[in-house]
Amino acid sequence: MIADPATSDAVRERLDLAVAARDFAVQELALPDARSYRRYADLGRPYAVWNVVATPEFSVDPRRWCFPVAGCVAYRGYFEESRAESAARRLASRGDDVAVGGVATYSTLGHLPDPLFNTMLGWGDSRLVGTIFHELAHERLYVAGDSEFNEAFASVVAHEGVRRWLASHGESGELARYRASLEREAGFAALLRMARERLQLLYDSPLPPAAMALEKQREFGRLKFEYTKLRARWNGYSGYDAWFARTLNNAHLAAAATYHDCVPGLARELAAAGSLPEFYARAERLAGLPLARRHAAVCTRPPGPDQPDARDLLRPSAAPPPG
């Protein structure tokens, strides 16, 4: 594709970047030098797959689907949007909260040679490079049945990889912007986590279903109100506006949790490790633990003065004004 004169300059530039990112991942991040990201595939559609996430009406825990090799995951993927929407309607008809989202790429964990998809070419450099690092990290370590740990591990490797990539290319301005984006992402994740904790307390309460449904709606209204305050602290940054513009439900929170909940704990592991090889060794030791112990080690919000308990946030004084 790169050598073909029929390839447009714009596509060739993206492919050159992907080749460089893949080489960097192998040489500087100790990620697998296997078969992935050596080929290009134009799928002729905007997303590679559409994922369906579902939760019971009064639960923040996602339903899980189990498969050979991958184990149990907190979503189910479809190659056709119409099939994903049909599955979502079936789940909603039995009372579940559901969410459907397009996904630009995925990892087959090294079992197949994953290509660079056309769905990724429109991204900025940091996002494209980071996604390649993220997906190759899945080939480095994957724990069947633990979506939250797997996604966090890959995200932490990607964050560190992009930081090193930008530093090595002298992109100090882009590095500052990337760090700012990670800070906003952490704020977004913390906001959703607190909402889930409040909802969990609500769902564990003895309220009857009708009253619980009403309080559930109030909690999602409160979440949107809290976002307006967070957005103001970001000087009006609007990158998450579309996420909050929807009618939100438990499934939207569960989908975000899969990718964010274990990131802070694994980031602390990386900082303590001092190097990527030692971080990989620590992550492999965590992977050998039972799921509950692994999550207790890196996926539980640590106590501290800057980490309020959800019960504190349920006090009436903390609630937004009616409406």
pLDDT tens-digit map of 61-101: 999 999 887 789 999 999 999 999 999 999 999 999 999 99
Residues spanned by the domain of 208: 1-36+123-323
d(CA 97, CA 57): 6
**pLDDT in the model for residue 302:** 61
Q: Which residues of the chain have pLDDT under 50?
A: 303-323
Is 70 contained in some domain? Answer: no
From the list 292, 267, 296, the residue with the least C-alpha distance to 282 is 267
Is 100 contained in some domain? Answer: no
Q: Report how many domains make up the chain.
A: 1
From the list 174, 149, 168, the residue with the least C-alpha distance to 261 is 149
Is 56 contained in some domain? Answer: no
Q: CA angle at residue 117 from 13 to 287, to 5 degrees?
A: 115
**pLDDT in the model for residue 300:** 83
Helices (H), the chain: 9-29, 81-93, 125-140, 147-168, 172-203, 209-233, 241-244, 250-260, 263-273, 276-287, 291-298, 310-313
Backbone torsions φ then ψ of 235, nearest 5 degrees: 60, 40
Burial 128-151 (b: 16+ CB within 10 A, else e): bbbbbbbbbbbbbbbbbebbbbbb
Is 31 contained in some domain? Answer: yes
Is 169 contained in some domain? Answer: yes
**pLDDT in the model for residue 71:** 85
Is 220 contained in some domain? Answer: yes
d(CA 225, CA 195): 11
pLDDT tens-digit map of 50-61: 999 999 999 999
Is 318 contained in some domain? Answer: yes
Is 104 contained in some domain? Answer: no
